Chains A and B, each alone.
Chain A
Amino acid sequence: DAGITQSPRHKVTETGTPVTLRCHQTENHRYMYWYRQDPGHGLRLIHYSYGVKDTDKGEVSDGYSVSRSKTEDFLLTLESATSSQTSVYFCAISAGRDTGELFFGEGSRLTVL
């Protein structure tokens, strides 16, 4: 158990509404990540953080923003949700110093109607 908690685990919302997903870790790891998982695409990186208030974009960042005001929390926000953002979202933390290995949360399933 890597000490990662995602909330909410399931959410249904309507197009145009804001949505925030939360990732909480108890491991005090510096690096945190948000990925989305879609059939046929595997996992794609949305945003990542390398410290408090230090964040950067991944490959599919359009329509998403993130914030990290505390080491333990990494928030993913959809300012105005669209149906194309229906997906399963995974938070991850970097496990090893230089190995690239990641530990993943259980995922948050978001449905945008």
Chain B
Amino acid sequence: AQSVTQLDSQVPVFEEAPVELRCNYSSSVSVYLFWYVQYPNQGLQLLLKYLSGSTLVKGINGFEAEFNKSQTSFHLRKPSVHISDTAEYFCAVSPSMDTGRRALTFGSGTRLQVQP
């Protein structure tokens, strides 16, 4: 089984400042890793994903994340945030081997609040 921990439930930041949203996972097998974003009253949209290869993954809207296997982390970063980045961000994992279920296990979410 897999689990995901997002240590920060809320992250306030000023516009144009850098931000890092933390994600740690636990798994006995190799995993794929994902970050999703949810804008108010909407569904979840994929920001980026790590499947294999380069540990630095670039996604949409200027976000990137780095996979660190030794620390079992997949932190999300953006060098300069905009007001429009205000949303809830979810880290998720799935086993890389096809178990037949293919479901994602999500963290509890981090609410990013960008202030002018």
Contact = CB atoms under 8 A, between A and B. Distances in A.
Interface in A10-41: 31, 33, 35, 40-41
Interface in B92-106: 94-96, 98, 100-106
The A contact surface, by secondary structure, is strand
B43 A106 contact: yes
B108 A41 contact: yes
A104 to B, nearest CB: 4
A99 B51 contact: yes
Contact of B100 (A44, A50, A99): A50
Interface residues of A, number: 24
A99 B100 CA distance: 12
Contact of B43 (A42, A56, A101, A105): A105
B104 A100 contact: yes
Q: Which 10 A-B pairs have the closest CB atoms?
A: A100-B94, A42-B106, A104-B43, A43-B106, A42-B108, A104-B44, A100-B32, A106-B43, A42-B109, A45-B103
A74 interface: no
Contacts, number: 58
Interface string A92-113: 0010001111101111000000
B42 A106 contact: yes
B70 to A, nearest CB: 22
A100 B44 contact: no
A60 to B, nearest CB: 12
A106 to B, nearest CB: 5
B100 to A, nearest CB: 7
Contacts of A33: 103
A106 B32 CA distance: 24
